[in-house]
Every structure is written in C-alpha cells, then in structure tokens.
Chain A
Amino acid sequence: MLSKVSKDWLGAGFVTVLGLAILIFVPILFDLFEVLQMTKYVVLSLFVLSLAYIWGFGGILSFGQAGFFGLGGYVFAVAAINMGQTTVPFLIAIGACALFAAALGYFMFYGRLNDVYLGVVTLVVTLILWKLINHTAGPEYIIGKARLGGFNGIPSIPIMTLPWRPGQEMEPAQMFQYFMAILIAVYVLLHALIKSKFGRVAISIRENEVRTGLLGYDVRFYKLCIFSIGGAIGGAAGAMWASYQTFVDPNIFSLEWSAKCLIWVMAGGVGTLFGPIVGVLALEYLSFQLGQTELINNLIVLGTILIFLVLLLPKGLFPTARDLVVKVWRRRGGSTGKGSP
C-alpha cells in the first residue's frame, strides 16, 4: 500500500522524470531546427500551465490570459534592451505581471465578480492593452533605449543570457534546456502548491465558494493569490516567448492567443496540469500541419475546435480518453476499483 505522500506524487513524479529525460536527450538526439521548434512548445506549455492552474485548481476562468503573456513579453523586451542582460529583466517581467494581476484581481475579487463578469472584464482588459500598445507607434513612446513601436512591435530583443555569466547569449540547445528546466520547476512547484493546505482551500473554493467562506477562509484573498500566481507564470512565459522570437508585437495581446490558451486547457482537460500540456502539443502540431497546407484559415480551425469541445467533450480529450480506458478496462474483467463507490 502506498503512503499518502507517495500516492500524491506518483503521477507528478513520472511527469517530472519524463521532463528531465526530454531535457537531457532532446538536444543530443535532434538537430538544431527541431530543437528550436520544440523550444516553442516548451514556452507555450508554460503559458498553458498558468491558465490550467487558475482555472483547474482555483475555479477562476480568465478570458484574458494573453494579457499577462503580452505584458510579460513587453516588460521583458524593454528591460532587456535597456540592461543588456536578461536574468534581471526576466524577474522584473514576472514581478510586473504578478503585480498587475494583483491590482486587477483586487477590483474583480473584492468586488465579488463572478463567471460572466469575470470573463468579460479579463477579456476587455486584454483588448484595451492591445489597443494601447498598438497606439504607441510614435517616436515619443520610448522607454530608455527601447522604442515601443506600436503595431510594428519591438525588434531585436536579446536572446536569454546565461544567468551566471551575463553578456553571454545561450546556444539554442542551452536555451531549450533552460526553458525546460523552468517548465519542470514550475510544474513541480504548482503540484506541491496544489497538494498543500493552500491548494486544498483553493480547490474547495472552486467547488463551493460560499461554504468555504462560511468555514472562515477569506475567499477573496485566496482568489487574489491564485490569480497573481497565474499572472506571474503567464508573464514568465511571455518573457520567454519574446526572447525566443527576438521580437514582440501587439498581436501577442490578441484574443486569438487568449482563445488558444483556453482551447488547449479545455482539450487537455480542466483540473489537470499535464493534460493541458498534451493539449498544446497536439493542437499546435495540428495547426502547424494545417498551416503548411495553407488551405484552411487557422481561425476557422480554432473556432470549430472550440465549439466542438464545448458541445461534445466538455470534460476535455485527456480525461475523456482516460475515463474511456478505465471503462473498457473494467468491462474486460479488470477488478480494479469494482464495488468501491
């Protein structure tokens, strides 16, 4: 019989080991182009974790997760261009996004906004950020050495430099490993957080907000914390994205990114951390393949997938498949769990 702690960590430990194996072996086994491609998936996986956490384990559905993604990217770009190294700008970007999320969260959670209102406010905040940044094309919008550039975006953003040797840019393989290490660390930390007392309270808020409040927990404060953590992770992913692309433009704030993030989480299943990462890999690979044919507009595909998921697979692909496997397993006479409620 497994002890409780090891049971909690069985799946996560497996995922961590898998992640470490990818971190070590991918740069050895694959060529440069493929490693660069995979770096993209790593960044987007981190991005999706931000929403997977706040939606799946805090019950907060943000329609504007791209807001933090974009903000992180822009703050990182401006700071990195001014400072010439990337470790401190990375931290600044994360901090800025956490603060922004906290400020926004104050208005939303202390105003006790719920479902529809929460979705609309987060969506509109992202839209306004998009408009604001689009508007900064003039030469007067300059922060230190960095011009914001409006709809032209910010070009030549520094590649991540080695944390212990500022000034030396990472090789693609090093960047892949650095990002992968961050992804694994965030995954493990989130898992630990979910299994902690804080995480259990957060889940109980998701299940029944009123009851949790009546038990004496300050629901608003917990939600604020969850939302800020999500914002910080989204910001980190944005900074990594900006550095990976060496370019960022206002479309990073677009509704398309927010929608993509939602679709990945829905496809992978709300309430897991690993599922949404699978969602990223599957759907990004699909849209990459479809994009190569150039026959089908990407938005049509995204929209169709979203409607399809909502109508037919509200639980998501990953949990549905898991349930199906369990069902078939039981029917074939496997006695696991039979009779237990």
Chain B
Amino acid sequence: MDFSLVVAIELLREVAGLILIATGLAVIFGMMRVINIAHGEFMMLGGYTVVLTTKLGVNIWVAILILAPLAVGLFGIIVERLIIRHLYGRIIDSLLATWGLSLFLIGFVTVVFGNTVEGVSTPFSGLAIGQYTVAIYTLFLIFAAMAFIASVYLTLRYTKAGLIARATMQNPDMVECLGVNSKIVYMATFGIGAAFAGLAGGLLAPISGVVPGMGALLIGKAFITVVTGGAAVVAGTLSAAGILGTISQAVTFASGPVFGDATLLFVALILLRLLPQGITGRIFTRSV
C-alpha cells in the first residue's frame, strides 16, 4: 500500500515535471507555431535568477514565484522585439534564430558564472509514508503543475485576453480586421511563454541545481511533449504529458532514467507516426 502510493506519487511527479517544462513552450507554439529552441535556456535563466537573488537574501518563495518569471518574461519580450518579430511566417528561420539565441545564452552564462553547478536548498523537508520518504517539495511541484495548467485554461477560456488569444490562433487576419493589434498579442504571448519557462526553471532549481548547460537536459522532453500534444495548449500538454510521463516513469522504475527518456522518445515517435499533427490534431480538436 505504502509502496503503491509512493509509485503513484513518482508517476505524478514525472507527469507534473513534463507539464512544468512544456507549458511555456506550448503557449508559444500553439499561438505562433514557433518552437522556441532557447526554451531550455530561458529555464536556466529562471534558475539562475533564483540562485542569485536568494544569495542576496531574498526570500526563496519571492524569488521562485515572482522574480524568476518576471525577469525571464521581460527578457522574453526583449527577445521578441529584437529577433522573433522579424521572423513571423518564417517558421524554420525562427527555429534557427532561437537556436542561435540558445547557444549565445549558454556561452554568455558560462562566461559570467562559470561552468559549475550552483544550488539552493530545498524549502521543505521530507514526508514519511510508512517506511518510505517523499519530499514535500515533490508534492508542491505536482500542485504547481496543476496550477500552471489550470491558470492557462481559465485565462484562455474565460477572460477577454484569452478570447483574443484564441481568436488570433485561429485567424490572425480576421482579428486584425476587428481592430486588435496582433503584433502586441504575439509579443505578450512570447513574454508569457518565457515567464512560464522562468517559473519552471525557478521551481526546478532547488531540485537539480543550476548549470549553464542544464537546458539541453530538459528541452528534449519539453519539445517532444509539445509536438506530441499538438496545437491545443491545455488539452495537448495534458494528454501528451500524461501518456509520455506515465510510460517513461514506468520504464524508469524497471531499468533506469536514461532508458525512460529513450522510451519516451520512442513512444512519441510512434504517436507522431499515427497522429502526425499531434494528439490534438485528431482527437480533442475543439479544445483549447
């Protein structure tokens, strides 16, 4: 009983991890069909924001929940103004440019902070379940992931901004005709996506520590989750994270984390072979 509870929490943790790292990417992809290859580095910047500000004495919750998304969100808007806005409609070029940005950021952070792991201490202790211990922070991450996805859903579904965003996804020209400046919509979307990445990076910093190359370890999963999910932000991320997270964590239990990752990719390839537009390209097509 205790063991199955721990296993369930571990499964949920993997799914939650995928949701955390993929949501920001999914927001940008769903809106503009751009995969931000620098997404991993945005998370890295979020992590560094937390490490630096806590070293300066800022409360860790303020650092994670406010400063990290704020800093990275602002950075995202600057990036959008300087680079991405020139490349709308040129999907491949925007991928290449964000890749360039990714390399630049890794190099830049390596120069400034050095290629070493920096850490912050985990805010909670462990929780005993029978003879096992689960970190309360894990439970907090699962909760955070649910809050992530719920906030995106509620915003898209029930607010004016969400309505405009969904309309821009469907038909940007018509939205322009109705008097909305789609450039501002795109800029805001990119900023929000970046803020989500920063928040995810901040949340993960206490677990894994931060290092300039950490993006490369995270983005593979994030990309594959978003691509498998398809264009619908909430339904896509949830379904893909659910399927891929469960399977990969099951394999991880059986034979180690690396094979879990490999299996995740393999399952995603098969899903994409069957549903080339992602899960929400065929199923749940009317969802957000």
Task: Name A's B-contacting residues (CB within 8 A).
Answer: 61, 63, 107, 110-113, 115-117, 119-121, 123-125, 127-128, 131-132, 134-135, 254-256, 259, 262, 266, 297-311, 314
Q: Chain B 209-236 against A: per-residue CB contact (8 Å), 1 yes, 0 no? A: 0000000110110011001000000000
Cα of A107 to Cα of B272 in the assembled complex, Å: 8
Q: Which stretch from B2-10, B53-61, B91-99 is at the chain A interface?
A: B91-99
The answer to whether A304 and B269 touch across the interface, beta carbons within 8 angstroms, is no
Q: Please, which residues of chain A bring their CB within 8 A of the CB of B258? A: 131-132, 134-135
The answer to whether B265 and A128 touch across the interface, beta carbons within 8 angstroms, is yes
The answer to the question of B35 belonging to the interface, with a C-beta cut-off of 8 Å to chain A, is yes
In addition to A107-B273, A259-B103, 7 A-B residue pairs with Cβ atoms within 8 Å of each other are A121-B227, A125-B265, A131-B220, A131-B261, A303-B103, A304-B104, A306-B99
The answer to whether B276 and A256 touch across the interface, beta carbons within 8 angstroms, is no
Q: Please, which residues of chain B bring their CB within 8 A of the CB of A310? A: 87, 93, 96-97, 100
Cα of A283 to Cα of B280 in the assembled complex, Å: 42
In the assembled complex, how far is the CB of residue B29 from the closest CB belonging to chain A, in whole angstroms? 8
Contact of A113 among B104, B108, B216, B276 (CB under 8 A): B276
The answer to whether B100 and A306 touch across the interface, beta carbons within 8 angstroms, is yes
Q: Please, which residues of chain A bring their CB within 8 A of the CB of B102? A: 255, 303
Contact of B97 among A115, A119, A120, A307 (CB under 8 A): A307
The answer to whether B101 and A303 touch across the interface, beta carbons within 8 angstroms, is yes
The answer to whether B105 and A127 touch across the interface, beta carbons within 8 angstroms, is no
Task: Name B's A-contacting residues (CB within 8 A).
Answer: 29, 33-35, 37, 83, 86-87, 91-93, 95-97, 99-108, 110-111, 216-217, 219-220, 223-224, 227, 256, 258, 261-262, 265, 268-270, 272-274, 276
Q: Please, which residues of chain A bring their CB within 8 A of the CB of B111? A: 297, 300
Give the top 10 A-B pairs by smallest Cβ distance, nearest first: A303-B104, A299-B107, A306-B100, A303-B103, A300-B107, A307-B100, A127-B220, A297-B107, A135-B258, A111-B273
Cα of A61 to Cα of B35 in the assembled complex, Å: 15
Cα of A117 to Cα of B224 in the assembled complex, Å: 9
Q: Please, which residues of chain A bring their CB within 8 A of the CB of B99? A: 63, 255, 259, 262, 306
The answer to whether B261 and A128 touch across the interface, beta carbons within 8 angstroms, is yes
Q: Please, which residues of chain A bring their CB within 8 A of the CB of B100? A: 259, 302-308, 310
In the assembled complex, how far is the CB of residue B79 from the closest CB belonging to chain A, in whole angstroms? 10
17 sampled A-B residue pairs with Cβ under 8 A: A111-B272, A111-B276, A115-B91, A117-B227, A117-B276, A120-B35, A123-B37, A124-B223, A128-B220, A128-B261, A259-B99, A262-B99, A300-B107, A301-B107, A302-B103, A307-B97, A314-B93
Contact of A307 among B34, B104, B274 (CB under 8 A): B104
Cα of A110 to Cα of B273 in the assembled complex, Å: 7
Q: Given A107-B272, A128-B265, A307-B83, check contact A120 B96 (CB 8 Å).
A: no
Cα of A314 to Cα of B261 in the assembled complex, Å: 35
Q: Please, which residues of chain A bring their CB within 8 A of the CB of B86? A: 311
Q: Please, which residues of chain B bring their CB within 8 A of the CB of A305? A: 100
Q: Please, which residues of chain A bring their CB within 8 A of the CB of B34? A: 116
CB closest chain-A residue, reference B112? A297
The answer to whether A262 and B96 touch across the interface, beta carbons within 8 angstroms, is yes
Cα of A141 to Cα of B76 in the assembled complex, Å: 43
The answer to whether A113 and B272 touch across the interface, beta carbons within 8 angstroms, is yes
Q: Given A300-B107, A300-B108, A306-B97, check contact A116 B265 (CB 8 Å).
A: no
Q: Please, which residues of chain A bring their CB within 8 A of the CB of B270? A: 107
In the assembled complex, how far is the CB of residue B73 from the closest CB belonging to chain A, in whole angstroms? 21
Cα of A184 to Cα of B24 in the assembled complex, Å: 46
Which of B33, B105, B106, B107 lies at the interface centre, i.e. has the most chain A CB atoms within 10 A of its CB? Answer: B107
Q: Please, which residues of chain B bring their CB within 8 A of the CB of A120? A: 35, 223-224, 227
CB closest chain-B residue, reference A295? B111
Q: Given A131-B258, A306-B103, check contact A117 B272 (CB 8 Å).
A: yes
The answer to whether A311 and B35 touch across the interface, beta carbons within 8 angstroms, is no
In the assembled complex, how far is the CB of residue B24 from the closest CB belonging to chain A, in whole angstroms? 15
Q: Please, which residues of chain B bring their CB within 8 A of the CB of A297? A: 107-108, 110-111
Which of B29, B93, B256 lies at the interface centre, i.e. has the most chain A CB atoms within 10 A of its CB? Answer: B93
CB closest chain-B residue, reference A134? B258
